[in-house]
Amino acid sequence: MLRKVHGPSVTDLCTPMSLTTAHSLWLAPLCLLLGIGAAWWLYRRSDGKEGFSRNLALVLAACRALAIALIAFFLLEPMVRILVREVRKPVVAILHDGSSSILAAGDTAAFRNTYPAGLDQVKESLGERFDVRVFTYGDAMTEGLDLAQRGTFTDIDQALREVQDRFSGPDLGAVIIDGDGIYNRGRDPRTAADQLAVPVFAIALGDTTVRPDLLLRGVDHNRIGYLGNELPLLVKVEGRSSHGTATRVSILQDGKELAGKDLVLSGRSAFVEVPFTVRPERAGMQRYSVRVRPVAGEATEVNNRMDVLIDVLDDRQRILLLGAAPHPDLGALWMALAGFEGYSTELGYADAYTGEVSGLDLIILHGLPSPKYPVQALLQKADVAAVPVCYILTSSMDFNAFNARGAGVNVTAARGSMTDAQADVNKDFTFFTLDADQQRAMERYPPLQVPFGQFELGRSAVALANQRIGVVNTPYPLIAFAQRHDGRSAVIAGEGIWRWRINDLQQFGDHMRFDRFVHKLVQFLALKVNKERFRVEHAPRVTEHERIVFTAELYDATFAPVRDAEITMVLKDEEGRDFSHAFVQNGSSYRADIGQLPAGSYSWIARTSMEAKSYEVAGEVHVEALTAEQMSTVADHRLWEDIAARTNGLVVQPGGTDKLVEAIEARPGLVARSYVHPGFSDLIGLRWIFFAILALLTCEWVLRRRNGAY
């Protein structure tokens, strides 16, 4: 049943009503019989024993029977099914743009002084016939009208989708949204407006006048760079009403210009991309300021600057390729690692290598150790420095010396001859993951030349691929990795992987699958294990509206977490002011919530002590300013006009809200709706039934006392 009515929202009961129970209603007569039986048993001889008259005994028995029958009936959990009528007024949602761009241009005095009263008048005028709900959107959508204009970005699409989530259905009658039409988060709001299926009315705020303005549209850069490398920056500059404006784009650090270029922007609207390269002089988080020199009469200069942060690392992983003699395998590995960011590769030969081992992160030995070049001194230094080693086996190796290394594979009964073996990939390998295309390619690669002998996999080793000789899959490992408490190692049980790289190019037109395999092998072996006993972690860069949270961990000599430690931290801003904070225990770690900080760079030092020894960790955190609302100050009223046209709405200026109210009130179908739906009410919850049972028992008790019975 559905009918349209006018008037306020109400909820009342409708007839008819019906009785139902959780258990079968056929048990109700038994409840009555239970009451009659109990009353009969109590009063069957009362006329002689108690001195009651027959009529009085019948009255007392009736009271007792009804009380017991009602109480027993409630054990059936009786409920009354009723029809509830609910009258709902159509909802009109008013969405106010709470972002700071509203105050960046236009008549801000009128907005502050007269616009709030206009919105209140709209709400009051529509409140009689409609359920008016007011929200403020910006960083997030909140209930109520907030005219502080502190929003750091605008997401119109999200605001409209939240309206749909809250009020979707026939109850939503219309949406009124104000703003300058500028959005810098989310998707195009036109689709969300269409999905509302109700008219959208817009109040156009802001200023559409295009004034001369130079702005930085963005800076493309890598988030991580390496000391000694040049860092590329691509600066995007836009000029509005430039008309031959001359300016200069500069890259600065600590107030010093590192690079710059003069530009002349012509035409009504111009867009230029300017490439730069800078070379960092130190490691760590580097802040570079990009500036566009302002011109006279600019609408705002806030969008003429932008800071970028690049984490410059000085910890390239050093890899040594050491061979017994020149071999194509060494060249294939060298080329695979040449473009691997963060790794530097050195090629050497056993007869002439004199470099230090302590500074290496991985050693790849080809055909070593051999009778001619045992390289025992190098391997001993690698053991002391805990440098992982990868062995590529050849027929000229000294297998006794190799087996003594415990690399994860033992080779016995080697005869100095070779056999061909292709890869049979182990699907249960878990140290790292090969993509499906890599696995297929590896099994199709040409065979490696494997020393003829017996191969045995060590206890701590896992085979990535086993040897497939001809059509026979053997249990002998072809590529194996070992992971022990003192380090990692790998064995490639044959030479000729250079053919794999060439075959990769022949099959797929590039070397991607082979190169990715080499990268994963190197990444697994050269992974640095953090052995610091005091560690502090945090997000290196955050924005102004994000909270800064530090987490700390403290370990004893066995690397078991230490609890109940006292950890303090001093945070210093760019002006040299210190702010002290303390960590609180959070499970097996510690946590310090600093909260939100103004834009800038902050250094910090965390300190603690354990076993009479002090520990200290230092670092930096950078807070980025949110300038999205200042990037563009020209209102986009065309967005509102387009949305209004698509939804049969209307666009008005701040002073024309009366037209908006008239248009909404004149729309047919925006009337209150009456809904009838069934509802259930437990009889046991009705107070009058309790008092009825109490009255029956009280009546019985009073009559018995009055006639001298207890």
Give the pLDDT of residue 50.
56
Please report, as a single letter, which amino acid is at residue 92.
Answer: V
Higher local confidence (pLDDT), 606 or 486: 606
Q: What is the C-alpha to C-alpha distance for residues 615 and 569, in angstroms, rounded to an integer?
A: 12
Q: What is the C-alpha to C-alpha distance for residues 239 and 602, in angstroms, rounded to an integer?
A: 34
Q: In degrees rounded to 5, what are phi and psi of residue 135?
A: -135, 160
Question: What is the share, in percent, of the chain residues with pLDDT greater than 70?
Answer: 95
297 pLDDT more than 90:
no
- Please give the distance of CA 386 from its chain centroid, rounded to a whole number: 37
DSSP 688-699: HHHHHHHHHHHH
Q: What is the C-alpha to C-alpha distance for residues 462 and 479, in angstroms, rounded to an integer?
A: 9
Provide CB contacts within 8 A for 297, sequence distance 6+.
Answer: 211, 212
Rg (the chain; Cα; Å):
41
pLDDT level of residue 7 (50, 70, 90 thresholds): very low
**pLDDT tens profile 145-175:** 888 888 888 899 999 999 999 987 788 999 9
**Residue 579 near residue 600, CB atoms below 8 Å:** no
Give the pLDDT of residue 15.
52
Please report, as a single letter, which amino acid is at residue 361.
Answer: D
Rounded mean pLDDT, 264-286: 85
292 pLDDT more than 70:
yes
Nearest to 500 by CA among 448, 449, 432, 463: 448
Provide CB contacts within 8 A for 165, sequence distance 6+.
Answer: none
Rounded mean pLDDT, 224-253: 85
Give the pLDDT of residue 8.
43
240 pLDDT more than 90:
no
**pLDDT tens profile 435-457:** 999 999 999 999 999 999 899 99
Residue with tokens 């080793």: 461
**432-452 per-residue burial string, b: 16 or more CB within 10 A, e: under 16:** eebeeebbebbeebebbbbbe
Q: What angle do CA 207, 273, 638 make, to 5 degrees?
A: 25
Rounded mean pLDDT, 602-612: 92
**pLDDT tens profile 466-484:** 999 998 999 999 999 998 8
Give the pLDDT of residue 350.
92
CA distances from 311 to 287, 613, 623 (A): 9, 31, 14
Give the pLDDT of residue 6.
40
Give the pLDDT of residue 5.
40
380 pLDDT more than 80:
yes
Highest mean pLDDT among 3-7, 97-101, 455-459, 557-561: 455-459
Rounded mean pLDDT, 623-628: 79
276 pLDDT more than 60:
yes
Give the pLDDT of residue 512.
92
- Please give the distance of CA 627 from its chain centroid, rounded to a whole number: 22
Element containing residue 78 per DSSP (H, E) = strand 78-88
Give the pLDDT of residue 528.
75
pLDDT level of residue 47 (50, 70, 90 thresholds): low
Highest mean pLDDT among 60-69, 296-305, 453-462, 629-638: 453-462
Rounded mean pLDDT, 92-105: 85
Q: What is the C-alpha to C-alpha distance for residues 698 and 344, in angstroms, rounded to an integer?
A: 98
Q: What is the C-alpha to C-alpha distance for residues 190 and 200, in angstroms, rounded to an integer?
A: 11
Bridge partners of residue 270, in order along the sequence: 239
212 pLDDT more than 80:
no
Mean confidence (pLDDT) of the chain: 86
- Please give the distance of CA 510 from its chain centroid, rounded to a whole number: 35
112 pLDDT more than 50:
yes
- SS3 assignment, position 138: coil
- SS3 assignment, position 552: strand
For 279-378, where are the E strands, in sequence order? 284-292, 305-313, 317-323, 343-349, 362-366
Rounded mean pLDDT, 342-367: 90
Q: What is the C-alpha to C-alpha distance for residues 644 and 655, in angstroms, rounded to an integer?
A: 18
328 pLDDT more than 70:
yes
Question: What is the share, in percent, of the chain residues with pLDDT greater than 90?
Answer: 43
Give the pLDDT of residue 568.
95
Q: What is the C-alpha to C-alpha distance for residues 295 and 432, in angstroms, rounded to an integer?
A: 56
Element containing residue 326 per DSSP (H, E) = none
Rounded mean pLDDT, 639-659: 91
Q: What is the C-alpha to C-alpha distance for residues 95 and 108, in angstroms, rounded to an integer?
A: 19
Rounded mean pLDDT, 106-125: 84
Domains within the chain, CATH numbers bracketed? 2-86+680-706 (no CATH), 90-202+635-666 (3.40.50.410), 213-313 (2.60.40.10), 317-526 (3.40.50.880), 534-624 (2.60.40.1930)
Provide CB contacts within 8 A for 560, sequence distance 6+.
Answer: none
